[in-house]
Amino acid sequence: MIWLRILLLSLHLFLMNLAAVGPLLAIWLDIRSLRRDQPEVARIGRLIGWSSLVAFGLGILLGVAQGGLIWLEGDQAYFTALSYVWDSKVLYGLLEIIFSAVCLIIYVAWWQYGKRTARWQRIVSRLLAILAATNLLYHFPTLFTIVGMMARGEVTVEPPVDSREFRSLLAQSEVIWFTLHFWFASFAVSGLLTGMFCLKRLPAEQRESTAGAAFTIALVATVLQIPVGFMLTTSLNSGQQSRLMGGDPLCTAFFAIGVGMALWLMNLLASLAFFEREAKKAHQAAMVLGGTILLMTAAMLLSRGGV
């Protein structure tokens, strides 16, 4: 069961990474297309927007499936922790998910089918995408990190947890560093996929600069994962650190190989950003990125004992 959870959680995180930052890159391509009078770039932006929406829907379904697997394993601690914040955050979070989905649907549909000739129309439509993205970037990683910490007994709370107490938990170092880790991973995933779409669909005269900029976004975000990942590791409890650093050979192996693949990914992204913008190398980078997410997810779950 744990291996199925690792696979589903990896796919879930990948999809939510795209859902969270894809709309922001769609805005960037929207602005770039108007400034440079490049309608082909606008088409890439709309494609990223629609892809983000699909990723959002699939990511939610996989999240529900992940919860189902936890339930089947009989891990009641996780659901007990959810019940602690049900009134203050979970119900509110469900409404925020619906709000984000509606904002993103209106943005991409308005851009695809509506008229945005006036400046105010473009500003309002982009604001909808910003709201969709920032809602996910704030609520998604913080809520589930805190719930996981409560389920593992890493924080002591008295149920029910009200909004004020929940906000105080946001200052926990693990919450801060995991949230930043998720943000940078989201830029890395979205930047890489945007670059791949540019290589495949843009004419030669536009491909180099736009794809190069997208790959640069992915590269910078991946490089920033090094200090953030280090700080996240140091913020974990002693048991998790021990399992990652040799206490559990399989967990340690996944973690070490994942770090190595992350370094390999940086090399590939640097080449794509500055030297060789080839579809073959981009596909290789995507596979390495997927492998990195899978290995790091496995190391994370095994270090936490599956919680």
Q: What is the pLDDT of residues 248-270, one digit of tens each?
A: 899 999 999 999 999 999 999 99
Residue 45 has pLDDT above 90, yes or no: yes
Residue 307 has pLDDT above 60, yes or no: no
Phi-psi region of 248 (alpha: psi -120 to 50; beta: other; left: phi over 0): beta
Cβ atoms 243, 251 nearer than 8 A: yes
What is the predicted pLDDT for the residue at 199?
A: 92
What is the predicted pLDDT for the residue at 164?
A: 79
What is the predicted pLDDT for the residue at 306?
A: 58
Mean pLDDT of the chain: 88
Domains by residue range for the chain, with CATH: 2-303 (1.20.1630)
What is the predicted pLDDT for the residue at 90?
A: 65
Digit-coded pLDDT (tens) for 156-208: 777 777 777 777 888 888 899 999 999 999 999 999 999 999 999 988 777 88
Q: Tokens 């640097």, residue?
A: 270
* pLDDT level of residue 287 (50, 70, 90 thresholds): very high
Q: CA-CA-CA-CA torsion for 13, 222, 141, 15, nearest 10 degrees?
A: -20
What is the predicted pLDDT for the residue at 182?
A: 95
194 vs 48: CA distance, rounded Å? 7
Tally of CA atoms within 13 A in the half-sphere of 45 that contains its CB? 25
The mean pLDDT of 136-144, rounded to a whole number, is 86
* pLDDT level of residue 140 (50, 70, 90 thresholds): confident
28 vs 78: CA distance, rounded Å? 38
Residue 99 has pLDDT above 70, yes or no: yes
Sign for the pseudo-dihedral over CA of 31, 33, 34, 36 = positive
37 vs 186: CA distance, rounded Å? 28
Residues contacting 85, CB < 8 A, separation 6+: 143, 146, 147, 150, 160, 161, 166
Q: What does the buried/exposed string (b/e) look like for 187-209 if buried means 16 or more CB atoms within 10 Å of the residue's CB? A: bbbbbbbbbbbbbeebeeebbeb
Say whether pTM exceeds 0.75. Answer: yes
Q: What angle do CA 60, 63, 66 make, to 5 degrees?
A: 155
The mean pLDDT of 34-59, rounded to a whole number, is 91
What is the predicted pLDDT for the residue at 128?
A: 93
137 vs 56: CA distance, rounded Å? 12
Long-range contact set of residues 274-282: C-beta below 8 Å, sequence gap at least 24: 274/212, 274/216, 277/195, 277/199, 277/207, 277/208, 277/211, 277/212, 277/215, 278/199, 279/196, 279/199, 279/200, 282/192, 282/195, 282/196, 282/199, 282/215
Residue 57 has pLDDT above 90, yes or no: yes
What is the predicted pLDDT for the residue at 87?
A: 60
Digit-coded pLDDT (tens) for 82-94: 677 766 566 677 7
What is the predicted pLDDT for the residue at 147?
A: 81
What is the predicted pLDDT for the residue at 36?
A: 82
What is the predicted pLDDT for the residue at 120?
A: 85
Q: Who wins on pLDDT, 24 or 38?
A: 24
How large is the angle between the packed helices 119-151 and 173-201, nearest 10 degrees?
140
The mean pLDDT of 17-45, rounded to a whole number, is 91
Q: Who wins on pLDDT, 186 or 305?
A: 186
What is the predicted pLDDT for the residue at 48?
A: 96
140 vs 43: CA distance, rounded Å? 28
